[in-house]
Structure 1
Amino acid sequence: MSSTLRCEQFVSDEICLVHCYHRCVRRAFLTGIDELTQKDYTHRREWIRQRLESLASVFGIDVLQYAVLSNHLHVILRNRPDVVKTWSDVEVATRWLRLFPGTRILDVLAEPNEEDVRSAVANPEKIQEYRSRLSDISWFMRSLAEVIARRANAEDECSGCFWDGRFKAKRLLDEAGLLACAMYVDLNVLRANLAATIELSMHTSVFDRIEAAKGAMIESSALDRIPLSREESIARRTKMTLEEQKKARKQTGPRPLVPRDAWLAPLTLDPEVDAFDPQASTNGLRASNRGFLKMNLEDYVKLLQWTAKQKDHPPGSVCRVPESLEPLFTGLGVEPSMWCDLVWNYTKYFGTSRCSGNPKAMIADAERTHKRWSRGQRQAAACFA
């Protein structure tokens, strides 16, 4: 079978859910402890979480789930071209120039100013290009990976590739595929023995959601989307030292406190909201307020905790689901007895596939991309009713 093109998996003008995966190269450690040098890179986990939070405040892309491990990371994204369409040309230009101003002051990116924004708005073709990129998952992952690679290389005092090629992507086709992948991502820290329970698995989406439900707050890492005036821009570009310019890029004073999961997409879908309503967020922390699962956080955590306890369950064996959890499988089409096998052996079923979901959905996706079949559809059939 020929390799799958990115344009066959997702495009910027179509809403879709994608599981993205990125691994380090050259025995590099993303966040773990190097066994040879005993150097601790754990602090880089917060780099990634903050960068994801910053990008969520600018892009028209929802961050659904994430997990940061020793040498790789997982993130589930949903692009939102419908939300980007609600933005004015000025807002599109401001958001894009905040990430890619196109100008540097020594080694620091310049802040976008009002003149830059007006110049971009005067070019409809450029605005259309920016609008498309702001809902493009490839541009989101590029904006994440490049900044982390630069910071890691600077800290390691080296140059060259930090990531093992481009990120890997898998399209999630239905609720069953999404739920299985979401739990696979949240349980990755337990799989790697980096935490004993999901309540202790820091730098995962489930940890953030549980802590937020308890009232935990963090300093916001959302990017400021207000362009500088011409006078402020000139002053910063001509009169400040490098250290002053770096300091000026940071928000003055303490950052506002927000719930720990405020930048993540809500977990629960609201059945009363019109499916065509973009539910664009107005708090400046994320793209939209649309959920992604037909269950609340309490039920999700309950199912995740029970699934976590089955970590050492023999692969392929039947795992009896408690009666209290069986209603959660309604409408998924998944055999409850095979749920643990599907989650804990997720890569066995979908590791080489370009998509994840019910076998019927995988067949339909193959037809969409003019393929005869999708890898993994026969193995996955054993887990679906």
Structure 2
Amino acid sequence: MKLRHTSLLAALCLLCFSCSSLKDTVAEKSELPATALKPYGRTMVNDAQQLELITSAAHFGYTFEGTESQVFASVPDAGTHGYLQYEVDGEYQKRVKIAPNATAPILITAPAAGKHTVWVYKATEAHTGPIMIEKITGENIAIVQKPNAPLIEFIGNSITSGAAADPSEVPCNTAAYHDQHNAYMAYGPRVARALGADFVLSSVSGIGIYRNWNSDGPTMPQVYEKIDFQENTSDRWNFDTATPEVVSIALGTNDFSMGDGKRERLPFDSTQFVNNYIQFVQQVKAQYPQAQIALLSSPMVNGRNGTTLENSISAVKAKIDALYPSDKPVALHFFQPMQASGCTGHPSVEDHAVMANELKPFFRKLLAQ
């Protein structure tokens, strides 16, 4: 009887140990719902409790332990696709295509066990459509937020979006327009990372101040307050979500464009451009009264048009400074001319590095003020 009792006790102990080990293993596996994430950029939580990444470079971070985690992402439209891109422990990894009806999660891997930090970015822009995040899974998943840092909002067009910049995976002119988007490598995020600042991109391909690349509108002033920069969208962006110290505006490239050569295009109207630009700066200042406004020219508008653009932007500065004498004066930066090497005449990833290096001293000075 004593032997049977001892054997039974040993079996019970083994069972308890096994249950405890299983419990520990389960505890290490965790799931982070999208609603718990702390995103940067324009985003929203939809009715399905998914986090919609809306704007270019909208991003979020998390930590995990071990060698891999999983991001469950999808696109809402069966007729299109999008791209995410990510970094692990501060090292950029790659872009990932989010195909229609995708069900398999994105596998995020690390080269060695331990605790790792991941930042996931939307590579494509608002007009491509949102990318929806359902959840993150892995071992000991936890949200991560950046330390308090100054925020720069970069308002612009396709250049600011990093559009057509990266043909490393999909060659130029072989697929959809957004197949070469790389917001992470655009000049704005590069500048912010180099200066230890946070950033958001408020940018739309083809958009202008008083007219767009091949249309009369809707222009940036008409859609800036809409959450996804779509004229017919009823949802408006909550500007109280984040307050930038600097708002950088780089518009004008498309106002000077001659379009597709098929649609009638009138000569550039400098008076209308300046007046609309002044009103747009006032619109931005109404949302961010304390922010430093910085106006950038375009590296793609050169020669006589480049001079006209610079003179027009200078006129905007003069008027805004006169209207708001107690505010910080508007800052100006005029780009060096560039022969872009990306797709469809856009700056490439390498060109964006050149632009960022040119801009870093300018923004470093603004953030120090």
Is TM > 0.5 for Structure 1 vs Structure 2? no
Q: Which of the two has greater helix per residue?
A: 1
Q: Which of the two has greater strand per residue?
A: 2
- Please classify the TM superposition score into its range, dividing by the shorter chain length: under 0.3
With the length of structure 1 as denominator, give the TM-score of the two structures. 0.23
Q: Answer 1 or 2: higher relative contact order, Cα 8 Å, separation at least 6.
A: 1
